[in-house]
Structure 1
């Protein structure tokens, strides 16, 4: 089977549909609002936002397929200076729950190609608990390892390390959460290799809904109070810092004149910053900060 951009784009639209249906069912009351949008330079997308559900306070499941003349910044990323057109498509998700006991999650799967013939896949899933629970972290990483191992046993250790490096808030010297997997610029060598890479991207995309609905159901009823909500607002602040300062996807979207509301849908509905915050010694907050390190072996 020849995997082309139409085939890939079709899968991404179906993935968006399936994930939205699964999240609505798990949430209970929340329903996605859909905005269809067009990009003046070419292409467009479907932005779906769920707000004030039973579990999800604000979340987005976005599909886009955009094209046009590649900017100098994009050409530089592809190690070429030859003028070219680009085509980019993918699904991007960020979910912020009401409860500080339910983690934030992010997923992105994407495909990019140039009219010169170059193409690549990228993506990943990472989890950002407000409170790090070792059992939840082990379960999460085992799901990702199992998905990776179906395609290549070398994937999980390589892409787990890549996630640790990528989702790192350098100015804070802490990871955004407990990581996950991250991969980028996976370039097909031939048609068979492209089909294999696409199958792996599908595996990652299809893993998302079972993983997150598990945490929605498991943690939604856990008790919390004012202390936990204040901590949640601080951790959301860290999430904002990473996305605005370091995230390449945010920068790419803004550089290619993408839809601002869709690009910034990853922002939480509320966040907070406290000057020189120091957690109480021995507290769960301190334990979580101590766990936000690179290279933690969860499986």
Structure 2
């Protein structure tokens, strides 16, 4: 079935990214926890911490299914009860304040053959904005998007700029990236297999982007005031996730 193909592809991406990040860090190793969801499905949580580069980060895979809560059905504007969702979600918090925080998510959601879609994106949150790094980051994302549809990058970049904004502070969370949701044939002109390939391409873009940014900045010297600023930026990051993040809300509402 298509859903199993997607889940397998996402597991392979999780494996590849974990292997590459462990090599890039050179010290920390991922610790894995397998979990089962009451109601159906489960996942693999992998956490790296206290490394040469990564202070703490997670590369997590899940594939869950079951009954949608009424609140989620209302938010998604759907009538069906049964759902399947799979994805990879990543957040990396570095030790050095000059290495940026990075977040990636790729996901697939299905209720039936007529109601299914892909979503995801990558965004960068530097503690200290380095213009050349930001340009490199966006250039690589544009290359990935352009290989499928030249309209993707400007659309998904604009969506990210709007989404990753802390409204009550009038602040952006970082330098943006790409963010997309509900990708399906009717909205893209691609079939589901092609959209899966795009989703995989986004996932496979993560590692070369982040290892390059690590290599550029991991040896920069920093002082206590740089760490204090890093902690402040992290607090904004946590604030956004708790107040606005759609994935956090979905996970809490579906117990997954």
Residue of structure 1 in register with 2:201 after alignment? 203
TM-score by length of 1: 0.83
1:274-296 per-residue CA deviation (whole Å, 9 max, x = no partner) reads xxxxxxxxxxxxxxxxxxxxxxx
Structure 1 segment 93-104 matched on structure 2, within 5 A? 93-104=90-101
* Number of aligned residue pairs: 255
- TM superposition shift of 1:97: 0.3
For 1:253, what is the secondary structure of its paired residue?
Answer: helix
* Structure (1/2) with the larger helix percentage: 2
- Measured after TM superposition, the shift of residue 117 of structure 1 is 3.3
State yes or no: 1:174 paired with 2:171: yes
- Give the equivalent residue in structure 1 for 2:47: 49
Q: When the two structures are superposed, what TM-score results if normalisation uses the length of structure 2?
A: 0.97
Deviations 1:168-196 (A, max 9, x none): 01111011000000000112349961111
Asked whether the equivalents of residues 84 and 115 of structure 1 are also in contact (C-alpha less than 8 Å), the reply is no
Counterpart pick for 1:140 among 121, 137, 140: 137
In the TM superposition, what are the counterparts of 1:1-299 in structure 2 within 5 Å?
Answer: 4-80=2-78, 82-115=79-112, 117-189=114-186, 193-258=191-256
Give the C-alpha shift of residue 257 in structure 1: 1.2
Unaligned residue ranges in structure 2 (runs of 5+): none
How many Å separate the matches in 2 of 1:188 and 1:38? Answer: 32
User: Alignment partner of 1:61: what SS?
Assistant: strand
| Structure of higher CA gyration radius | 1
**What is the rounded CA distance, in whole Å, between the counterparts of 2:159 and 2:189 in structure 1?**
26
Pairwise CA distance, 1:116: 6.3
Q: Which 5+ residue runs of structure 1 have no aligned equivalent? A: 259-299
Q: Do the aligned residues in 2 keep the contact of 1:30 with 1:50 (CA within 8 Å)? A: yes
The structure where strand makes up a greater share of residues is 2
Structure 2 Cα separation of the partners of residues 93 and 188 of structure 1: 26
CA distance in 1, matches of 2:80, 2:191: 26
RMSD: 1.5
On the 8 A contact 1:23/1:213 being kept in 2, the answer is yes
